[in-house]
Amino acid sequence: MSMRTDLAHECAGHAEKLKGSPLEGLSRSYFKKSSLCISRISLENEQTAESLGKSVGNYVTVFADKGLESYPDDFEERADAVAEEIKRLSPDLSKTLVVGLGNSSITPDSLGPAAAQGIFATRHIKKLAPGVDTQNLAETSVITTGVMGQTGFEASEIVKAMCSRHHFTSVIVIDALACSDPQNLASTIQLTDTGISPGSGVENARKELNSKNLGTNVIALGVPTVIDMETVAESIFEQDAPAHKLNRLMVTPRSIDTVIARSAQLISMAVNRALYPSLTVEEITALVQ
């Protein structure tokens, strides 16, 4: 049975189900924070990571019990919970580049550009307005890379060029993901310190954005916005699906416009809170409007 997913949580669960026992070289913990359930997985050796199609490192999955398309009463608490995971994965956010990956013209792939719009950029203020007190603010730059069909560049080329010139302490990459379990569609956020291969979930993988290629700490955040219909069928019927009939269909929620808007809002606020803990949610909202 094939599985097309970007979520380490799903890969690990599938592998453990097939094996019938926990995987060696994998540690896992769960806890609740506000209305979120958070899973932390650590892949500790190359053999286990390779068997899952992942890299050695840490993977955090944030489960929202009511999905991500609504504006919850505990929005601030949710944002702070994700912000804490960002800070845990990156020890130094003092000079950060935030990258929005994806195609803003295709709604399920527009999470990165949408979230990037909500990030408070401060690099220009620190450089051009020395009289403004920004001592408690990280130096943050924000870009959207578009896709190679629009720009002619791999996203990794653009980001690597900026990293080589500006020597960021961290890069935060935001992108839409794919999942294999309908329950995780538009209701989870994955964070990892292993980077990301843009387009891998829809079999259009590009060169990875990771610490090895960029020369600095890389955190990737994403929300699964699509699911492969063949994977869903195989999961339901527990046998290989007729690929010629499903023809690699990718399915997205009917409410995908709202999902992208709300998910981008939550992720951008979480990133802002991680970068600027001295600012309130109200102050951040006013600064990015």
How much is the pLDDT for 198? 73
Q: What is the pLDDT of residue 201?
A: 45
Distance of alpha carbon 137 from alpha carbon 279, whole angstroms: 9
Q: Which amino acid, 154?
A: E
The structure's pTM equals: 0.92
Q: How far is CA 22 from CA 39, 47, 77, 130, 192, in A?
A: 15, 14, 32, 55, 21
Give the residues of the chain that fall short of pLDDT 50: 1, 201-202
Distance CA 64, CA 184 (A): 9
User: Which two tokens mark 25?
Assistant: 């070289």
Tell the burial category of 79 from Cβ atoms under 10 Å away from its Cβ (0-12, 13-18, 19+): buried
What pLDDT sits at residue 241? 57
Report the alpha-carbon distance of residue 7 to residue 29 in Å, rounded: 16
Q: Which fold has domain 8-288?
A: Rossmann fold (3.40.50)
